[in-house]
Chains A and B, each alone.
Chain A
């Protein structure tokens, strides 16, 4: 009773004395500031650099629209060859990744072959290890003369010449395939698991045989997954930088991304770099459009669940062949490279015989030496990863909320901008960042932070947005009507309920920041080296043992951070219907 009387006095008093205050409160200034600030940051992170990038390549020194820059850029020596190389790389890698990923996915999801768990684990490992690190392993294993596998082949298997050469275009294709096939594998096996058994059972009941069912029902149902994965693989191969830079230097060939990197070496030629990045941009844009319009409409709704016994194909004696295939893949793509990496990091010198006496820790000692560049790079990387993860998780939460909850003109622009950053090749994006912020932040970690945050924001955004999407709006509205302001409703209701998603986003962004190379290579200066750039430097200088030791640290930190995800997913994130 007293409550209500008080409320009346309050309402009346407010009306009589300070109508202005009432008007102001209706604007909800806290919400306005936070959302407005986040959108401003988004524009600064993504829209501004991209606009500059487009501007530089289309507009000449006098401000006129021109295609001259393109002509001049592509008239440079080796540019067409590099473009062609990129094209072949994309083609081979895409075909190879599908040839490896689709059969493996089918074996794991739908057959009784042994060794299925091993494949899932090794695909996970391949996925976590960036290609500039697997390059180190494969140099150790398959360098033309000194590679240990080659020596094994010559000494024990009677080869007259070294059979393997990782420092070649073929070697690059192999390393890229191993790096990206998990995308196909995970997408297709998830899709196969998600097909409700009743779809296939219906076909069987109507008289279709197992093969016919697979071809007419199962395959069409996973086609969207395959297409999405193919597009991701193509974009990944097109914008890959680490392995091409490491191998290209030694094997003396270029792709578009390494050409861009060369153009930015002193003296930097921004407009040519921007122009050369354009083909990547255009292919990316087309691919994303295809994905949006051709695949999304085909994205069938299916129920989730594991394959039922009925869906498992019994392979009979082919079972062991499939199992053998799994074992070979696991060994060749995960066990061997990881083992080689660790071994190399402990070996006294590359080429030394593998014996207990030759195992030393001096490389790690050097890595942590105070006067050596590597130690500073570890600190830089950790700081950057912490900052990037925090910025992305926070921005992801606010922007995810805005897109899901706020009905205002142009909210779709937000998700569009964020997704552009996702599909955008890192190397081109870094060029944009460099052009936009080099005057303000030259040679600082802030410059790198801006690039990391912009490029990794999409991952946090998608994860947190999905979390918010699953929350009924009512839950927040119930808090508002109970008297909580906007910020308080987010703090008390939204955040606790999407904490799991925010935590996962934070960890993923952290791990990905640690291994980011293409943007770091362009943006890092001598005082702002990060772990991946130092690794690349070591490779190019031929100090592969040091590269291996630092790479082991990157992989170890990444894997243990990803282990944290289990913590977030296991924790009781309340079931919300």
Chain B
């Protein structure tokens, strides 16, 4: 369980997170929604120990993120930031091997190699393993990073806007993949999304942030009502059901 306890973060006078208490990662896919500047990336930054909070604590399975050994946390929780890119010239294989760093500090064992092969196979990157990252398409590169996270073999996986820079088909593929990470591999995936309809179709639970506060936290059916959406986006949004999935019509 990832437990956020009275978390507050300010940038100067701007309050990015305002006394947020939340439990994440119980199971399945949790989508984190909210307008720009709502505090989603700040929340990920603190959980991923890239930022320190001004107040409050985050614990992952009882480990205090601010105090625990960085390597120990990296074996429990993997974070993929948005627009992750690398200046060094690496192959897909190199990148995926780095996923094992928290376990073996760079000296790969037989077990590490199995994890790497499994991750490559799962993301269908076997044929691309010797290609350099800068020779891949955006979707392929995104998959290579997910493979690294998968090789990390953690219980929790945090993905920050994994749909960025993907075209429609790859967006759907990515969401199906995220679904499979939860269903087949039993991972608790927490994913920041922009489009409420992707969340409604693929997530189990939706948490919405606005102005640094949690304004809604519910299952899909409960979340996808005009009343809740109004409170999140501050505008009236119609909801229709299409083939059993609620769809928000925010275009009007």
Tell whether A and B belong to one assembly.
Answer: no
